[in-house]
Amino acid sequence: MKLVTYQPISVWKILLKRGEFFCNPTNDRLFISDGCRSCTEAYYWLAEKMETRFGRPKGVCLPIWAWYADTIRNEEKWGYENWSHEGIWARIELEVPDEEVLLTDFEEWNNILNGSPVIMDWETSEEYCEMAEAIEAQGKEAIRQSWEGVIIDDCSKRKDCDIQATFWSLKHKYIRAVRIFACCSEI
């Protein structure tokens, strides 16, 4: 599966040195992407889903984030030209085995980050609010159950959304291309 990830230059250096990088906040003081910095319930929920589907390597805490490359509009919308994080970054194009990747709907993922229910089939905002209220009234477990809706098993059915990918380990053998770039905030 073709993926694109954006990582701090420090991750790139570790990858070159070790041949592999994975996120373990306990052992590495380096946290990749906003997800590892937050370490919220949402990220651990996703890690549990990944572990259920294809296990978890020893010593790995949280997954690596990337964009599903076939969702080409990501590059325009989220590409390095529009990057707002300061520092030196690596844009890494990857080819990761399909069986190691979990795909999720990026926009709906924000509901999970906010602890809200995920509702995929709604017509009007009123209908959405009614469905959300009904799920919330059932409690936290019902909300967590609704989160399953972000998982994408068939990309052909989700062509209209930005698709993010997660996998356990960034391995040198997966790399197809790298572009190093610098970002700084405007003065």
Residue 174 identity (one-letter amino acid) = Y
CB within 8 A of 51, min separation 6: which ones? Answer: none
pLDDT in tens, 2-59: 999 989 899 999 999 999 999 876 545 444 444 444 447 888 899 999 999 999 999 8
Return the pLDDT at 187. 44
Beta partners for residue 8, in sequence order: 89
Average pLDDT over every residue of 130-153:
94
Taking the CA atoms of 36, 37, 42 and 48 in sequence, report the sign of the dihedral they define: positive
Return the pLDDT at 183. 76
Among candidates 161, 60, 142, 62, which has minimal Cα distance to 104? Answer: 161
pLDDT at 95 > cutoff 80: yes
Among candidates 37, 21, 49, which has minimal Cα distance to 145? Answer: 49
Return the pLDDT at 77. 53
pLDDT in tens, 44-82: 899 999 999 999 999 898 899 998 876 655 555 555 555
pLDDT in tens, 149-176: 999 988 777 767 788 999 999 999 999 9
Return the pLDDT at 136. 95
User: Alpha-carbon distance 42 to 109, whole Å?
Assistant: 9
What radius of gyration do the chain's Cα atoms show? Answer: 17
Return the pLDDT at 164. 92
Return the pLDDT at 50. 96
Mean pLDDT for all residues in the chain: 83
Instruction: Annotate 145-171 with DSSP letters as a single string.
Output: HHGGGGEES-GGG-TTS-EEEEES-EE
CB within 8 A of 158, min separation 6: which ones? Answer: 105, 152
What are the structural domains of the chain?
2-105+162-183 (3.20.170)
Return the pLDDT at 51. 97
Predicted TM-score of the model (pTM): 0.83
Taking the CA atoms of 55, 78, 96 and 156 in sequence, report the sign of the dihedral they define: positive
pLDDT in tens, 100-126: 999 999 889 989 988 899 998 888 999
Structure tokens at 60: 């790995």
Residue 170 identity (one-letter amino acid) = L
User: Alpha-carbon distance 131 to 33, whole Å?
Assistant: 32
User: Alpha-carbon distance 96 to 32, whole Å?
Assistant: 18
User: What number of other Cβ atoms are within 10 A of residue 83's Cβ?
Assistant: 15
